[in-house]
């Protein structure tokens, strides 16, 4: 059935856009298997693409050829969201072995500010300390009872920290101090986490270096959010481009942070000269797809090889019933002016969600 599907005319007219987030350097894949993949699993995926004779196209070329009806058989594109330092340190060495073209949707606030993404690091700290007791919770604005043992309990604590930080209009660096305090009260060395660059994004010189080496950088907003007010939304794109400096001119493809989209976003993106936008909704893109709602396959550690191959061939797309990613708009999304800081809330917002 795989062979029939992959060689079908139906598949030939479609582009599969793969979506990855993090490749783990330590134990991140144990903490969030849907966000981080072990590098060996990632290598197996690329090996399957190579052995299967898939045509991995640069994203822009793939989209152009999709529209022109000139896709080669078994075509796909590979995208990475966020542009974490782990892309540089853990994904790239694997990618280099295969030479596939890659697009990184780079969010830039935490690229400009080299500190761990606040709510992500808080979530990780709590997971690391799940068997411990948090000392002096009041100093962190937290009230007991605190449940560190369950994912939902830890999520509640992170949400409270994020909401409080937003309400107090804390800067990124103030939030970083708060995360350091949390680490201290959990008896974890924050310095080690910071110096390891876990949960940090690639800095500008790393982005420039990889761009010169052929990695394609595209848009993912500056602060990893999509405000519901046009001016603020468009500022996210402008700031994102500005931060990508000269790459900004070639950055015309966009990926919705957290996979959240609304009808009005299309015209705002078009006004910023964006020509395509990808979601976290599962599917293969066809000529009939809305170019501002292109589906992707979010590939995660908990997908089996069989399921992955099912998607490559297109068969899984035909069999899947539920395809859309959850559209939960974070409270802060419509009020980006409250804080100049990035939130990246979706990275920890829902255990089973897409970033």
Contact residues: Zn ion, CB under 5 A: 81-82, 257, 355
Of the pair 74, 241, the CB lying nearest Zn ion is at 241
Distance CA(333)–CA(317), nearest Å, equals 31
Considering the complex, what minimum distance in angstroms separates the CB of residue 344 from Zn ion?
Answer: 7
Closest CB to Zn ion among 22 and 310? 22
The string of DSSP codes covering 203-225 is: -HHHHHHHHHTT-EEEE--SSS-
Q: Is the peptide bond before 145 cis (omega within 30 degrees of 0)?
A: yes
> Whole-angstrom Cα distance, residue 12 to residue 21?
27
Phi and psi (nearest 5°) for 106? -95, 120
Strand (E) positions, the chain? 16-20, 22-23, 36-37, 55-56, 75-82, 103-106, 216-219, 253-255, 276-282, 294-298
Tell me whether residue 66 or residue 122 sits nearer to Zn ion (CB atom).
122
Identity of the residue, 16 or 346, whose beta carbon is nearer to Zn ion in the bound complex: 346
- Give the residue with the Cβ less far from Zn ion, 159 or 220: 220
The distance of closest approach from Cβ of residue 346 to Zn ion in the complex, given in angstroms and rounded to an integer, is: 7
Concatenate the DSSP letters of all residues of 284-308 into one string: -B-TTS-TTSEEEEE--TTS-HHHH
Integer Cα distance of 153 and 149 in angstroms? 7
Least distance in Å: CB of 105 to Zn ion?
A: 7
Q: How far is the CB of 220 from Zn ion (least distance, A)?
A: 6
CB of 43: closest distance to Zn ion in angstroms? 23
Q: What is the closest distance, in whole angstroms, from the C-beta atom of residue 285 to Zn ion in the complex?
A: 19
Query: Is the Cβ of residue 22 or residue 62 nearer to Zn ion in the bound state?
Result: 22
Output the six-digit token pair for 221: 């907003």
Q: How far is the CB of 233 from Zn ion (least distance, A)?
A: 16
Residue placing its CB nearer to Zn ion in the complex, 78 or 316: 78
Give yes or no for a contact between 264 and 293, defined as CB atoms under 8 angstroms apart.
no
């Amino acid at each position: 059935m795989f062979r029939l599907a992959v060689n079908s005319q139906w598949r030939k007219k479609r582009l599969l856009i793969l979506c990855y987030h993090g490749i783990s350097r330590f134990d991140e894949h144990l903490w969030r298997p849907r966000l981080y993949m072990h590098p060996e699993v990632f290598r197996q995926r690329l090996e399957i693409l190579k052995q299967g004779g898939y045509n991995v196209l640069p994203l822009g070329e793939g989209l152009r050829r999709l529209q022109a009806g000139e896709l080669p058989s078994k075509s796909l594109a590979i995208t990475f969201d966020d542009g974490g330092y782990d892309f540089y340190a853990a994904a790239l060495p694997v990618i280099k072995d295969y030479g596939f073209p890659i697009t990184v949707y780079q969010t830039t606030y935490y690229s400009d500010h080299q500190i761990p993404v606040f709510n992500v690091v808080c979530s990780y700290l709590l997971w690391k300390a799940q068997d411990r007791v948090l000392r002096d919770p009041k100093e962190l604005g937290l009230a007991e009872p605190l449940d560190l043992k369950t994912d939902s309990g830890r999520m509640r604590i992170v949400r409270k920290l994020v909401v409080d930080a937003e309400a107090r209009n804390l800067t990124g660096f103030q939030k970083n101090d708060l995360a350091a305090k949390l680490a201290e009260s959990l008896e974890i060395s924050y310095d080690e986490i910071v110096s390891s660059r876990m949960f940090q994004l690639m800095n500008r010189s790393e982005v420039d270096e990889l761009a010169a080496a052929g990695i394609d950088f595209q848009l993912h907003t500056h602060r990893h959010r999509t405000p519901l007010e046009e001016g603020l939304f468009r500022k996210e794109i402008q700031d994102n481009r500005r931060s990508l400096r000269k790459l900004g001119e070639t950055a015309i493809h966009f990926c919705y942070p957290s996979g959240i989209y609304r009808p009005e976003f299309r015209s705002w993106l078009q006004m910023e000269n964006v020509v395509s936008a990808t979601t976290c909704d599962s599917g293969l893109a066809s000529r009939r797809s809305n170019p501002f709602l292109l589906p992707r396959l979010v590939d995660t550690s908990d997908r089996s090889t069989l399921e992955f191959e099912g998607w490559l061939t297109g068969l899984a797309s035909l069999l899947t019933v539920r395809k859309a990613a959850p559209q939960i708009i974070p409270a802060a999304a419509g009020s980006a002016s409250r804080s100049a800081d990035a939130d990246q809330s979706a990275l920890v917002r829902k255990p089973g969600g897409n970033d």
